């Protein structure tokens, strides 16, 4: 996938695992896709997350939905699972395996996403061959227990101005009301968990977010 195609897919990047969903994760993803998400990450983490065969089974089902919809299916942290289900990509955080080692394992065909909290981490990720950056937490979030303190959109502006040219999304506490600020700061899109996964109507939530991002991009 070209960098520009990937940039397009970064517009509305939904992330979730069974822990983040009140109803069946497969149904939540189906509705989110119907609402217009442009990328999906399977992040099965935290208390009560699935392991072993159940984890693999769910990954396979979610991957099939993404394949049918033509959107990238990314796996968080679990490189073995990503390879096993032939995911389109893998996303790693700063406390996971170093990006350059992940790249060695997955080769150049898979998408490699890297989390960055500040300019220094973004710089290192760019040097180590990341295909896109996830910057955050931007706003306070209750979804990731060990999240660092919310940095605000300044760090997105800083990284955008550094001009690495990498597609990037903001993440952390992003909702309909603040999505425009992420784009205005220079990100190519927004990444959300609870704004969609906790919604009573994931399709409507995704659709409204997608429209907000589209309008913000047009205003840039």
Ligand X SMILES: C=C1C=NC(C)=NC1=N
What residues make contact with ligand TZP under the rule CB under 6 A?
Answer: 136-137, 141, 143-144, 147, 171-174, 192-195
Give the CA angle between residues 30, 7, 185 to the nearest 5°. Answer: 105
Among 46, 93, 98, 186, binds ligand X (CB under 6 A): 93
Query: How far apart, in Å, are the Cα atoms of 44 and each of 21, 125, 149, 179, 212?
Result: 11, 23, 22, 24, 27
Rounded CA separation 27/213 (Å): 24
Give the residue from 137, 147, 200, 144 showing the smallest Cα distance to 172. 137
Question: Using CB distances below 5 to 8 A depending on partner kind, what does residue 167 bind out of ligand X, ligand TZP, none?
Answer: none
195 binds ligand X (CB under 6 A): no
What whole-number distance in Å separates Cα of residue 156 and Cα of residue 183? Answer: 9
Q: In this structure, are residues 110 and 96 in contact, taking their beta carbons and an 8 Å threshold?
A: no
Which residue's entry shows tokens 């950056």? 133
> In terms of CB distance, is 12 or 212 closer to ligand X?
12
Among ligand X, ligand TZP, none, residue 113 binds (CB under 5-8 Å by kind): ligand X
Binding-site size, ligand X (CB under 6 A): 14
C-alpha 91, offset from chain centre? 8
Q: Applying CB under 6 A, which of residues 6, 9, 11, 15 lies at the interface with ligand X?
A: 15
- From ligand X, ligand TZP, none, interface partner of 209 (C-beta below 5 to 8 A by class): none
Task: Decide which of ligand TZP, ligand X, none touches 166; Cβ closer than 5 to 8 Å per partner kind.
Answer: none
Least spacing, CB of residue 202 vs ligand X, in Å:
18
Annotated active-site positions, please? 43, 115, 144
Q: How many residues are recorded in the chain?
A: 220
Q: Which residues bind ligand X (CB under 6 A)?
A: 13, 15, 41, 43, 76, 91, 93, 113, 115, 134, 136, 169, 171, 191
């Amino acid at each position: 996938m070209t960098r520009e195609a990937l940039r397009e897919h970064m517009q509305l990047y939904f992330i979730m695992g069974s822990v983040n969903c009140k109803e069946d994760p497969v149904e939540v993803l189906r509705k989110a896709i119907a609402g217009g998400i442009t990328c999906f990450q399977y992040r099965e983490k935290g208390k009560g997350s699935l392991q072993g065969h159940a984890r693999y089974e769910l990954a396979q089902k979610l991957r099939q939905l993404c394949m049918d919809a033509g959107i990238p299916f990314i796996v968080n942290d679990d490189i073995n699972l990503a390879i096993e289900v032939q995911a389109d990509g893998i996303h790693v955080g700063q406390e996971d395996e170093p990006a350059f080692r992940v790249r060695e394992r997955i080769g150049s065909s898979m998408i490699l996403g890297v989390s960055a909290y500040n300019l220094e981490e973004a710089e290192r990720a760019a040097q180590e061959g990341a295909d896109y950056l996830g910057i955050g937490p931007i706003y306070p979030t209750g979804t990731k227990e060990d999240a660092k303190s919310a940095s605000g959109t300044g760090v997105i502006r800083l990284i955008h101005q550094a001009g690495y040219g990498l597609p990037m999304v903001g993440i952390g506490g992003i909702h309909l009301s603040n999505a425009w600020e992420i784009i205005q700061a220079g990100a190519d899109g927004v990444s959300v968990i609870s704004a969609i996964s906790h919604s009573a109507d994931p399709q409507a939530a995704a659709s409204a977010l997608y429209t907000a991002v589209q309008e913000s991009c047009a205003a840039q």
